[in-house]
């Protein structure tokens, strides 16, 4: 229980080890484990009002106005009525409370939606449907296919063979590849027998709640035996059960203690840099206010001593008050009068502006993704202007930059490249959605209809039974760890641990080499309509050191062969000398593929001698059972057999980027925004994507790789990088400014040339240590692009925190999975990609949209406009209020420092709420220096925001000086004009009320004209607001100063007749004109000289816009530029080590497939489908029209370098 957020009960002791017993709530209850209910809301109906007011009055401004209200109820010091403060204060508190209540109601709805989901729980020996929130630690629950996992569970049993389950972890790590989990045999025997499950009383001891997604340690004690429990037996909340009819699990952690919720990170209240600057400025203003009040109080003391004593004869002081006490009262009176230097309406206006600019993001159709029906969403309204100041963008890769969809695009077979399309003149054509695709169904009823390929020459080669082409696809159909599932005749589903392998096996399937099924010791494929079964003798599994995998198979004819695929550099080292010429040609193709950003693999094979293989197999068995250095000995054995290979060719897979990613990164780079990619993928994959999306470029002087395995190695590599970039300097830290708590700001350093930095996960762990973090940060900040690979969610947040700590720059983090949540929460701005890999990142983000390309519009258009509008608003708001207030200061010297106001009380009340509110809001909501097209054409317009050029302490000081000058004009010109002046009918006009009216009218005209100079973009709404506010002023003034209002409330409306007596005099209007001209003349002169002598980037672009006199045409469509590359593309492996063991052990296999024919004998087309591991392997998920017909492809001989004559191949 909590009250006002303060825990009233004894805080739970820190948990060191979790102990629980299945089906025994009484045993588990004393441990006080968290239930499965989650709570993200802050208030309830009873705590909302006190808690919300408590939070609001923690803001220094609100507390200040409450203090002023208390002063105003003291008659001795109050010269203003209480309503001048209480009306604005109540308005602010009400608006803010309504906004907070709305946000919290939405949080309550979200919590209730999740907490009220239903799941089957085993209670009292029966399965009952219970709400998620009622599930407790120790309960056994039943999950069914496609259900979300309710809590963190220990898997007990499942419907699949060997107690396997398949789960999708998109909510956790953004990956849609299915993962496999397997229950212990002892619990798997429980099956779905409710009686056995109800009798199960196993005890679990395990680690306490933590945020490690990849690790779990614990033990299960059951029937007197102890069994180890690791991560492979755990189902985490947030996962989705796939391809599994049912499973049972034991709840280990619930609600806030689940790893999903533990990874959500600490929610911090985010404030913009303008907010932080405002806090400093408000404190300075308060200090200046106290200074002015002190001067006026001292003036009152001297006036009382010198002048006031002359009045005591006929106006004696009350209670014999001294001059000193009078000065004390005057000090507090002027605190009340001059409080408008920080009006409470400032905070109301700021909230309205932020809300309006948030709606612009929500309503932007150009950020709407129609395919998923996903609009952009501003999930917070307090950070909009910060979007215009971003310096560092931290991005996830999978699902953020890429679609996590692999497509088989091109290949090189025996020295000939396939995949490009040519016209009748031999010119290479760009492949678009209108390019005709190959119709595989015409000769292959088992083809996947979603597979797209455009080069008919490869199909013709397959039909001509070219041996090299057949051997190429035979290798792809045999050398992999994919599982096939065929629930109905001809409907193939491939379960691939990595989308790369799924794409390759699907390509082989469509070209006539269909992988149908496997057992631990055989692989069945359909080769051009004929069913063939290969004996699987060994899988030489992939790992990060080998960078290749091989299979050894025996064909139906009895021929032994080794098929190998892997990184081309690794394969080339193991090729036979006879392949040198073919290797040169294939290398050219690989360079071309790499230049297009494709992921490549080289394919090779060799025939094996039966006698040699038997000896090798015997040694392999001995090494496999060795206790010492087993992995090292196996690697040596693999090296021995994987040599003298014969090259077949290479594959090129496209890891499809999201639309517009390269262009977006290019635009952001031009805006001087630095992009760091933080990904859990391996180095080669991440580096390859870096080149694909223009993050890394061939033109860079150097790309540094930091992959040291010790602190010394990492430090040396970082220092080498620093020396290369700045050879004239030592790697000592440059002096920088100091922030609070002794933290130094590392300044930006200029380097000659462009550099990139790639850091591996284990190296990053050392680089983030306190002794090395500054060297890492210096090296990284000198580079144009940084890629960190194999990073954990915690490391992502640490990198962001490091930049926030030592660089005075605004950061943005963008991601799509639960593994990005900590990074999103750590950055100043968090952006979630929605509609791709789950919603966990979106729920924790400040802004969300469906595609990475929308980031450039969010920053370069909405962010820049929001920042520009907010800065203009603040500059103008301080100007109009300082000018308003300083007139009181000058008037004090002419009223005996008596704390008399220079304006009518009603004018003081309505000045900020009515007369000047709408014009400044109109400017702050509709103003734009240039439109969105010009913003994209000139991304350099974004740079001033990063440098805080539009609003800073310097800009604030200029604003204060301008206000001081204007206030002097607005006081002394009317004062001099009315001194000893009479009306044209001879009557006196120089009374206090007429002077007050003239001064306030001059003030309103001056600030309105100044607003006109501030606005760059006039709309009908702005014009209406400006003219309407002036009209409102005169309407209200004539009404309040009329006889009728005076008769109703004489004390409230004392200015009877003043308006009609003063405003019909020509000299009054001439005075208004003179003061207006004198106020704006310095502004016009300064701006004219400044634009002529040193124009800003905004001035230059706005001049171009005026020259164009029309909206410029849209930029031309970017044509695809083909480039070659000297670097090798990343090899297309992404599955984990050890998968081959699962395949050969049989633990991974599903139920036997149905009896079937080869599938090629059917006359009609069989409906087929490919079920990738989630969406990630859906290689081309949207169908494309098949329109134009291409000319017949000329049959060419493919026997260019070597002919394979063996019929087995």
Angstrom CA distances, 1167 to 437, 447, 496, 816, stand at 19, 9, 21, 34
CB–CB of 30/24 below 8 Å?
no
Q: Tell the burial category of 920 from Cβ atoms under 10 Å away from its Cβ (0-12, 13-18, 19+).
A: buried
End-to-end CA, the chain: 74
How many Å apart are CA 219 and CA 154, to the nearest integer?
A: 11
Whose tokens are 């056994």? That residue is: 140
How many Å apart are CA 533 and CA 553, to the nearest integer?
A: 10
Parallel/antiparallel/unpaired status of strands 483-488 and 491-495: antiparallel
Question: Which of 325, 326, 343, 327 has the alpha carbon at shortest distance from 289?
Answer: 343
Q: How many CB atoms lie within 10 A of CB 87?
A: 14
CB–CB of 1153/417 below 8 Å?
no
How many Å apart are CA 753 and CA 757, to the nearest integer?
A: 13
Could you tell me the two tokens for 143? 């999950």
Could you tell me the two tokens for 179? 């993962």
Whose tokens are 């913003």? That residue is: 935
Q: Tell the burial category of 135 from Cβ atoms under 10 Å away from its Cβ (0-12, 13-18, 19+).
A: buried
Ramachandran angles phi, psi of 778, nearest 5°: -60, -50
CB–CB of 890/968 below 8 Å?
yes
Radius of gyration for the alpha carbons in the chain, expressed in angstroms and rounded: 38
- Axis crossing angle, helix 273-306 with helix 60-72, rounded to the nearest 10: 30
CB–CB of 591/608 below 8 Å?
no
User: Residue by residue, what is the 3-state secondary structure of 1008-1034?
Assistant: HHHHHHHCCCCCHHHHHHHHHHHHHHH
How many Å apart are CA 388 and CA 696, to the nearest integer?
A: 25
DSSP code, position 138: T
Instruction: Write out the DSSP string of 262-284.
Output: HTT--------HHHHHHHHHHHH
How many Å apart are CA 224 and CA 470, to the nearest integer?
A: 57
Q: b/e for 1115-1144, b at 16 or more Cβ within 10 A?
A: eeeeeeeeeebeebbbbbbbbeeebbebbb
How many Å apart are CA 790 and CA 759, to the nearest integer?
A: 9
> Catalytic pick from 173, 396, 681, 929?
396
**What's the longest Cα–Cα distance across the chain?**
132
- Give Cβ neighbours of residue 213 (< 8 Å, ≥ 6 apart): 172, 173, 236, 259, 263, 793, 819
- Contacts of 704-708 with C-beta under 8 Å, sequence gap 24+, read 704/755, 704/756, 704/757, 704/758, 704/779, 704/783, 705/758, 706/757, 706/758, 706/759, 706/760, 706/763, 706/767, 707/683, 707/759, 707/760, 707/763, 708/763, 708/766
DSSP code, position 985: T
Verify whether residue 396 is a known catalytic residue: yes
CA atoms 697, 698, 702, 704: torsion sign: positive
CB–CB of 235/157 below 8 Å?
no
CB–CB of 494/1170 below 8 Å?
yes
Hey, which residues are catalytic here?
Answer: 396
């Amino acid at each position: 229980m909590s009250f006002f957020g303060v825990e009233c009960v004894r805080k739970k002791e820190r948990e060191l080890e979790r102990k629980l017993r299945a089906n025994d709530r009484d045993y588990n209850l004393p441990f006080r484990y968290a239930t499965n209910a989650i709570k993200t809301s802050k208030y309830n109906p009873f705590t909302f009002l006190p808690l919300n007011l408590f939070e609001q009055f923690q803001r220094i401004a609100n507390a200040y106005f409450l203090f002023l209200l208390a002063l105003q109820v003291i008659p001795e010091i109050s010269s203003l009525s209480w309503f001048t403060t209480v009306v604005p204060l109540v308005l602010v508190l009400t608006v803010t409370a309504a906004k907070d209540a709305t946000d919290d109601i939405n949080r309550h709805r979200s919590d209730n939606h999740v907490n009220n989901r239903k799941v089957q729980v085993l209670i009292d020996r029966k399965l009952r449907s219970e709400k998620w929130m009622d599930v407790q630690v120790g309960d056994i629950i039943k999950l069914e296919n496609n259900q979300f996992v309710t809590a963190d569970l220990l898997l007990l049993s499942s419907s699949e063979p060997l107690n396997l389950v398949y789960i999708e972890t998109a909510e956790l790590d953004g990956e849609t590849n299915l993962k496999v989990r397997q229950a212990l045999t002892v619990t798997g025997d429980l099956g779905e027998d409710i009686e056995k499950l109800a009798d199960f009383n196993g005890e679990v001891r395990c680690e306490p709640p933590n945020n490690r997604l990849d690790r779990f340690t614990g033990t299960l004690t059951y029937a007197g035996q102890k069994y180890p429990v690791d991560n492979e037996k755990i189902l985490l909340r947030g996962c989705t059960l796939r391809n599994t009819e049912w499973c049972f699990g034991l709840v280990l952690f619930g609600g806030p203690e689940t790893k999903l919720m533990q990874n959500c990170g600490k929610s911090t209240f985010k404030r913009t840099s303008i907010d932080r600057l405002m806090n400093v400025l408000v404190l300075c203003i308060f200090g200046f206010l106290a200074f002015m009040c002190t001067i006026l109080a001292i003036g009152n003391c001297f006036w009382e001593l010198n002048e006031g004593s002359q009045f005591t004869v006929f106006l004696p002081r009350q209670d014999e008050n001294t001059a000193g006490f009078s000065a004390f009262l005057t000090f507090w009176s002027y605190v009340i009068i001059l409080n408008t230097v920080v009006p409470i309406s400032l905070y109301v206006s700021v909230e309205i502006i932020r809300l309006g600019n948030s709606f612009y993001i929500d309503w932007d159709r150009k950020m709407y993704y129609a395919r998923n029906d996903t609009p952009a969403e501003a999930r917070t309204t307090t950070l909009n202007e910060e979007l215009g100041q971003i310096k560092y963008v931290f991005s996830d890769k999978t699902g953020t930059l890429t679609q996590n969809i692999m497509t088989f695009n091109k290949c090189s077979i025996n020295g000939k490249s396939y995949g490009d399309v040519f016209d009748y003149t031999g010119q290479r054509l760009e492949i678009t959605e209108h390019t005709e695709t190959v119709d595989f169904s015409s000769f292959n009823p088992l083809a996947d209809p979603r597979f797209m390929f455009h080069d008919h020459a490869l199909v013709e080669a397959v039909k001509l039974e070219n041996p090299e082409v057949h051997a190429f696809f035979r290798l792809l159909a045999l050398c992999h760890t994919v599982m096939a599932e065929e629930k109905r005749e001809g409907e193939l589903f491939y379960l691939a641990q990595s989308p790369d392998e799924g794409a390759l096996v699907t390509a082989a399937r469509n070209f006539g080499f269909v992988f149908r099924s496997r057992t631990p010791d055989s692989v069945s494929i359909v080769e051009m309509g004929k069913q063939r079964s290969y004996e699987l003798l060994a899988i030489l599994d992939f790992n990060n050191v080998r960078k290749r995998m091989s299979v050894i198979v025996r064909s139906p004819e009895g021929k032994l062969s080794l098929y190998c695929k892997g990184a081309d550099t690794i394969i080339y080292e193991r090729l036979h000398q006879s392949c040198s010429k073919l290797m040169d040609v294939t290398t050219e193709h690989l360079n071309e593929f790499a230049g297009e950003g494709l992921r490549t693999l080289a394919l090779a094979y060799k025939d094996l001698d039966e006698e040699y293989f038997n000896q090798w197999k015997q040694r392999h068995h001995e090494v496999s059972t060795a206790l010492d250095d087993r992995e090292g000995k196996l690697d040596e054995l693999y090296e021995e057999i994987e040599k003298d290979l014969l090259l077949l060719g290479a594959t090129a897979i496209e890891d499809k980027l999201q639309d517009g990613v390269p262009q977006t990164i290019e635009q952001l780079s031009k805006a001087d925004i630095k992009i760091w990619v933080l990904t859990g993928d391996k180095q080669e994959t991440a580096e390859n994507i870096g080149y694909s999306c223009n993050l890394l470029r061939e033109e860079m002087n150097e790309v540094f790789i930091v992959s040291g395995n010790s602190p010394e190695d990492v430090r040396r590599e970082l220092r080498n990088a620093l020396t290369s970039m700045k050879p004239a300097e030592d790697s000592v830290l440059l002096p920088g400014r100091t922030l609070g708590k002794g933290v130094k700001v590392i300044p930006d350093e200029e380097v000659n040339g462009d550099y990139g930095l790639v850091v591996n996960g284990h190296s990053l762990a050392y680089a983030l240590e306190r002794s090395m973090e500054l060297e890492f940060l210096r090296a990284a900040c000198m580079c144009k692009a940084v890629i960190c690979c194999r990073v954990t969610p915690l490391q992502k947040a640490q990198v962001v925190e490091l930049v926030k700590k030592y660089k005075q720059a605004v950061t943005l983090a963008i991601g799509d999975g639960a593994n990005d949540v900590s990074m999103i929460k750590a950055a100043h701005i968090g952006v979630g990609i929605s509609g791709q890999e789950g919603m966990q990142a979106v729920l924790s983000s400040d802004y969300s949209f469906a595609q990475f390309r929308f980031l450039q519009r969010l920053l370069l258009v909405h962010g820049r406009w929001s920042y520009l509008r907010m800065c203009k608003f603040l500059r103008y708001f301080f100007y109009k209020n300082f000018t308003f207030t300083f007139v009181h200061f000058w008037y004090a010297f002419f009223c005996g420092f008596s704390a008399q106001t220079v304006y009518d009380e009603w004018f003081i009340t309505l000045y900020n709420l009515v007369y000047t509110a709408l014009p400044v809001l109109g400017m702050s909501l509709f103003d734009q220096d240039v439109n969105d097209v010009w913003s994209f054409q000139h991304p350099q317009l974004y740079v001033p925001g990063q440098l805080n050029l539009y609003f800073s302490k310097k800009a604030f000081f200029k604003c204060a000086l301008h206000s001081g000058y204007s206030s002097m004009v607005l006081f002394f010109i009317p004062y001099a004009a009315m001194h000893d002046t009479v009306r044209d009918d001879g009557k006196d006009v120089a009374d206090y009320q007429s002077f007050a009216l003239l001064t306030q009218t001059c003030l309103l005209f001056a600030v309105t004209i100044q607003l006109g100079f501030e606005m760059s973009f006039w709309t009908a709404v702005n014009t209406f607001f400006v003219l309407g506010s002036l009209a409102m002023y005169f309407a209200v003034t004539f009404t309040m100063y009329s006889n009728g209002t005076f008769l109703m409330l004489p004390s409230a409306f004392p200015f009877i007749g003043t308006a009609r007596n003063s405003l019909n005099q020509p000299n009054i209007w001439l005075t208004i004109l003179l003061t207006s001209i004198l106020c704006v003349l310095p502004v016009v002169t300064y701006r004219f000289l400044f634009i002529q002598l040193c124009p800003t980037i905004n001035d230059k672009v706005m001049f171009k816009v005026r020259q164009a006199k029309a909206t410029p045409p849209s930029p031309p469509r970017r044509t695809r530029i083909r480039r070659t590359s000297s670097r090798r593309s990343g090899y297309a492996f992404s599955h984990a080590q050890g998968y081959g063991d699962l395949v050969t052990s049989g633990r991974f296999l599903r139920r036997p497939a149905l009896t079937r024919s080869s599938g090629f004998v059917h006359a009609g087309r069989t409906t087929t489908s490919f079920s990738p591991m989630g969406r990630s392997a859906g290689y081309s998920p949207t169908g494309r029209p098949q329109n134009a017909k291409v000319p017949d492809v000329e049959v060419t001989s493919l026997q260019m370098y070597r002919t394979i004559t063996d019929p087995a191949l």
